[in-house]
Amino acid sequence: MADYLIHKFQYKDRYFLLDAESGAVHLVEPIVYDMLDGFIGGAKEDTINALSDKYDLETLELAWEELSTVQENGLFLQEYVPFNFEYNPDNIIKAMCLHVAHDCNLRCTYCFASQGDFQGTRCLMELDTGKKALEFLAKNSGNRYNLEVDFFGGEPMMNWDVVKELVAYGRELETIYNKNFRFTITTNGLLLNEDNIAFINEHMSNVVLSLDGRREVNDRMRSTVSGKGSYDLIVPKFQMLVGLRGDKDYYIRGTFTSNNLDFSEDVKLYKELGFNKTSMEPVVTDPREPYALHPHHMDEIMRQYDKLTDMMEEELKNKSGFLFFHFMLDLNQGPCVVKRSVGCGAGSEYIAVTPEGDIYPCHQFVGEEEYKLGNLDSGIANNMIRDKFKEANIMTKSSCSSCWAKYYCSGGCHANAYYNNGNILIPYEPGCEMEKKRLECSIYLSSIEKE
Amino acid sequence: MKLIRTLTGKSLKETAAKGGCGECQTACKTSTVGNQKCENEEQ
């Protein structure tokens, strides 16, 4: 069996060749695209003869020569060479999802956090617990300089005073430990006002603002405790926050379900509302739920990504600065191969801390007792679970090792794998399918952008 | 006439030597690493 891994695809009038093991992506002329199979598996003379009805001999010779050159340069048919590295041997922790509230003022139908309480008692994090969490992060961060803390819930703004005090405490710890805390917050926006928007825009390096798109789409899934829609309450607040935010990062982030398979319309609405940094994610839920995504929805989802590609192509031509998170791809200088191999770092470099101070691999495992890693007092006590996550990567996930997209998705989300297949090593297949489609769209858009 | 245009920068192998510094960021909370930025100035 060949140890190289290539993927060739056509998108609109462009032809692409991706060499997985080198990471190279090539934009090729149709003559090269047509020659690939012969170049890989056949003799030069036979291949050129077979194509001579369609192309002239001189250009066929040139195509063969260019393919030979990129192969000699290690950017085509590069063979898999296992590279040995020990991932996070010192068990450094650099990122924390801080659950300052296990309570919420919305009752979103699809919420993986059981409408905010994570299947437990509704509660808020005490300030002392939060301080202990930041100290735990600083003390366990080894030589890492950049540390990340995402204020999460539930709805983190239901515990706003604690959030503010923790930011101030983090700044104190920066001096003591020589660290840089990057604070971020994920909010539904209901409690935003001029004062807390000013604080967020000053102190949060990124803000994730939850909105599903069109009013009827959003309000069907994201209602208040009294059952009313949230769209009219939150959109003006998000517009105020974004209007005052300047160049700092934010994302308007939605979830699409089988109720809005035309989700490209929701992304268009983001733009109409003045939001330029956008993300729209497929719902991942129990397949028995009426809004769940199923295999028969895939064709329409793929069409929607094509529509979004058309939209983004226009935005690129107009240099509007509009961004769709899943189409952002830095082909010049993406992450290193280590990062691409291990993924998000959940359960190892990245942890979630509950209001009670319990530690889980990430926010999506909170409440799953068998996945509890420990708590802030005892530290990480469940080494078996930590090691399980440390060892989950594209080399150990068998379906990933032969996939051309492995260095882009990095094995996918462990939680999606666990909740769908009962095993963090078996990726969530519909997620893989969507990821591969988005990658093809992204590569096409990158080729447009480079012109 | 150039029939193949390479769109990528460094090969993955070239990023291995100084890779894994861990300084880069860990939008969505549910669904990829490929669209992250490298923050290692030595890369």
**Which of B2, B18, B24 comes nearest A335 by C-beta?**
B24
Mean pLDDT is lowest, of A64-73, A137-146, A147-156, A390-399, for A390-399
More confident residue, A119 or A60: A60
pLDDT of residue A438: 93
Q: How far is CA A272 from CA A145, A236, A309, A317, in A?
A: 39, 13, 17, 18
Among chain A residues, CA nearest to B32: A409
pLDDT of residue B24: 85
pLDDT of residue A449: 87
- What size, in residues, is chain A? 451
More confident residue, A382 or B13: A382
**Which of A22, A31, A152 comes nearest B13 by C-beta?**
A22
Say yes or no to pLDDT of B30 above 90.
no
Say yes or no to pLDDT of A83 above 70.
no
pLDDT of residue A3: 76
Per residue, what are the HEC states of A192-257?
CCHHHHHHHHHHEEEEEEECCCCHHHHHHHCEECCCCECHHHHHHHHHHHHHCCCCCCCEEEEEEC
Instruction: Of A90, A166, A164, A163, give the one whose Cα is nearest residue A135.
Output: A166
Q: CB of A163 within 8 A of CB of A126?
A: no
Burial of A55 (0-12, 13-18, 19+ CB in 10 A): middle
| Å between B43 CA and nearest CA of chain A | 8
| Å between B17 CA and nearest CA of chain A | 9
B10 pLDDT band, cuts 50/70/90, is confident
CB atoms within 10 A of CB A238: 24
Average pLDDT of the segment spanning A407-423: 91
The pLDDT tens digits for A273-316 are 999 989 998 998 888 899 999 999 999 999 899 999 999 998 99
The DSSP 8-state label assigned to residue B38 in this structure reads P
Contacts of B4 (CB under 8 A, 6+ apart): A17, A26, A27, A28, A29, A32, A66, A67, A70
Q: CB of A229 within 8 A of CB of A217?
A: no
More confident residue, A148 or A441: A441
Mean pLDDT is lowest, of A308-312, A354-358, A376-380, B11-15, for B11-15
pLDDT of residue A443: 96
Q: Is residue B19 reached through a cis peptide bond, with omega within 30 degrees of 0 on the bond before it?
A: no
More confident residue, A344 or A212: A212
| Å between B29 CA and nearest CA of chain A | 8
Say yes or no to pLDDT of A437 above 70.
yes
The residue of A26, A94, A337 whose CB has the most chain B CBs within 10 angstroms, and thus the best one to mutate to test that interface, is A337
Mean pLDDT is lowest, of A168-177, A201-210, B2-11, for B2-11
As a whole number, the mean pLDDT across chain A is 93
B7 at interface of A, judged by CB pairs closer than 8 A: yes
B25 at interface of A, judged by CB pairs closer than 8 A: yes
**Which of A23, A32, A92 comes nearest B8 by C-beta?**
A23
